[in-house]
Each structure stands twice: as structure tokens, then as C-alpha cells.
Amino acid sequence: MAGENGYIVDVKELTKKFGNFIANDRLTFNVSPGEIFGFLGANGAGKTTAIKILCGLSSPTSGEATIAGYNVYRETEKIKQNIGYMSQQFSLYEDLTVYENFRFYGGIYGLSRKVIRKRTEELLHELNMEKVKNRVIHSLPLGWKQKLAFSVAIIHQPKLIFLDEPTSGVDPITRRQFWEMIYKTAQDGITVFITTHYMDEAEYCGRVSIMAEGKIKAIGSPNDLKSQYDAHNMNDLFIKLVRN
């Protein structure tokens, strides 16, 4: 289910101020269900502030935004129930086993024991990791943890998942595999909202927006943007937009 006009993320003139500092300046964009949306920008461009608002963690100063049809001012509880979140720190408990992590995160989203068991089996089966179900997280390699963290983040079958630099510090092969997971998830109808500093990854996104100084400088598919700004690749484009 998405908002009135069919968008899962629908943002109009969203502004967030901290005193005199404008962290987000009239952001306007939308994301359709099943899309892979890249949210790019240099450090300090205001990405984190925007994501916090979209996750229901803080309120905007002005403007409008709905997530899965729910208002970011008034319906944060419902937003939280319908989104997943994964950060670069992977957010698994190192001293718990794989299954205990699934059970815990499933539990805080209010899933029943039976559903948690079923979802865990499904997700581990997809990853081919049934054997590590009872292994403690800290004994697993980084790439595995990353994939498990992603699975944990979608255990409650959210409509939208926020991935905040999920591939930092991971080797290229694992990154490649991780993107395969992202594609599969998007095919299953879960919208992916991802931030990254790797410009080759930006090419994998359906559409990207590029932020600088609190504003969205450009938005569109990677190919359209490249031709529009006469850039050879995303790296080139990013530097052009962020410099000016």
C-alpha cells in the first residue's frame, strides 16, 4: 500500500532547521513502490537529517511528507511498523546467535513465534545459511553478518527499507552479492532507499538524488543525469554537482 498518489515516499517542500542552520531546504521528491532509490550527497549535506525525518525519528520544521501513506508529523508509530532499517554497523547483537537475533528483532515488531520461525527459515534458506542458525554472530565473517543484518531488517516484511551506507568496509565480491540481494528484495516489492559513497553503486540504482548544502541538486535515473550534465560517469557527475 502506498500513498494517495501511489508513491511510497512522497516529500514536498520538506524543511528542517536547527536554529538558523537549514539542514534540509525545501526537499521535494518521491519514490514509487519497488524502486531502488539512491540518496546521495557529500558528508554534511543533510542526508542523515532527512532520513531521520523519513524514519519518524524527528519532525520536520515545515513541508509535507508521507511514508507508505502515513504522515511524518502524526503517524510515526505506523511509519515505524512499516519500514526496515539497516546501517553500516550491521546492528546485530554479537553475543547472540543468528536465530536469537531474528527472534529478538521479529519480537520487537510484534511477530508471533510461529511467524518468526517461518520467516527465519525462509530467509536463511535464501542465503544458504541454514547451518549457522545457532552460531554466535561474532564467530561469523563480515560479509555473512552483513547479509544476515539485511535479512533481519526485512523479517517483518516492511514496505520500505532504509539502507544507510550498508556496504562500507566490505570487499567488492561481497558488495556485488549484497546488491543481488537488494535487487531480489526490490523484485519482491519492497522499496529500497539507499545511501552510499560508492559511485559505482549509484549506477545500480533505478533513480538517484544528489544533495549538497541541504538542497537536492539533481534527481533522475543515472543515465539521464549523466547525459543531462554531460558527465562520463557518476563520479564525474557527483563532483560536478557538489562543487557548484
Q: Which residues contact another protein (rule: CB under 8 A)? A: 18, 55-58, 77, 80-81, 83, 85-96, 100, 103-105, 107-110, 153, 162
Q: How far is the CB of 215 from another protein (least distance, A)?
A: 21
Q: How far is the CB of 172 from another protein (least distance, A)?
A: 23
Instruction: List beta partners, residue 85.
Output: 162
Q: Is 76 or 202 the residue whose CB approaches another protein more closely?
A: 76
Q: What own/partner pairs with CB < 8 Å and gap ≥ 24 does 68-76 have?
A: 68/1, 68/2, 68/3, 68/8, 68/159, 68/160, 69/1, 69/2, 69/3, 69/4
Q: How far is the CB of 81 from another protein (least distance, A)?
A: 5
Contact 170, 178 (CB under 8 A): yes
Between CA 160 and CA 129 the distance in angstroms is 24
Q: How far is the CB of 228 from another protein (least distance, A)?
A: 34
Q: Is 137 or 216 the residue whose CB approaches another protein more closely?
A: 137
Q: How far is the CB of 56 from another protein (least distance, A)?
A: 8
Q: What's the distance, Cα to Cα, between the start and end of the chain in Å?
A: 38
Contact 23, 16 (CB under 8 A): yes
Q: Is 107 or 189 the residue whose CB approaches another protein more closely?
A: 107
Helices and strands of the chain, counted as H and E runs = 9, 10
Q: Is 106 or 222 the residue whose CB approaches another protein more closely?
A: 106
Q: Is 101 or 185 the residue whose CB approaches another protein more closely?
A: 101
Amino acid letter, residue 205: C
Amino acid letter, residue 125: H
Q: How far is the CB of 105 from another protein (least distance, A)?
A: 8
Between CA 185 and CA 220 the distance in angstroms is 21
Helix (H) or strand (E) holding 77: helix 76-82
Q: How far is the CB of 174 from another protein (least distance, A)?
A: 19
Q: Is 55 or 210 the residue whose CB approaches another protein more closely?
A: 55
Contact 80, 56 (CB under 8 A): yes
Q: Is 32 or 61 the residue whose CB approaches another protein more closely?
A: 61
